[in-house]
Structure 1
């Protein structure tokens, strides 16, 4: 199976994902300014945990840490499935 065929539902903690679009702080990460960029589209991250909100147990929520400057992992961020991808949207030139 090629990575482009993987679905988020097949992944678990420790697996790599990518930001499908720019992800901004909605105020949920207190050490970052509200509206600060958490991850640009195509940024690689690692799943820490998968859960749901008490108010909506049918909707999955992913706890992800995205790479920042120097490949250091940033703070954990809660992401909806539509904010993540199993393949990078970056071009090879952008990844170098």
Structure 2
């Protein structure tokens, strides 16, 4: 069950670092700071854990997959 919807304005609840899925950034580089605003642009599913993954656009160039505990509504 998903907790948030597409188009919802959210903010990061924690600092988000590059886990290797952003090749334009150094590994472990800070991508988004806790409190930074964003918008959910897509919702997917983590296959192994069967958990929703929210694709959040933080600014024009930063799009990150987030788990529910990493974001909250604005």
- Say whether the fold is shared (TM-score over 0.5): yes
1:76 aligns with 2:63: yes
Higher helix share: 1
Let me know the Cα RMSD of the aligned residues: 1.5
Select the residue among 34, 41, 56 that pairs with 1:64. 56
Q: Report how many aligned residue pairs link the two structures.
A: 73
Gaps of 5+ in 1: 1-7, 68-72, 88-96
Contact 2:8–2:73, Cα closer than 8 Å, also in 1: no
SS at match of 2:69: helix
**1:30 maps to which residue?**
23
Greater strand share, 1 or 2? 2
User: Partners of 1:22 and 1:74 in 2: how far apart?
Assistant: 17
What's the counterpart of residue 20 of structure 1? 13
Q: Structure 2: which 5+ residue stretches go unaligned?
A: none
Displacement after TM superposition at 1:74 (Å): 2.5
Greater Cα radius of gyration, structure 1 or 2: 1
Taking structure 2 as the reference length, the TM-score comes to: 0.85
Q: How many Å apart are 1:24 and its aligned residue?
A: 0.7
- What is the deviation of 1:82? 0.6
Q: Which runs of 4+ in 1 moved over 3 A?
A: none
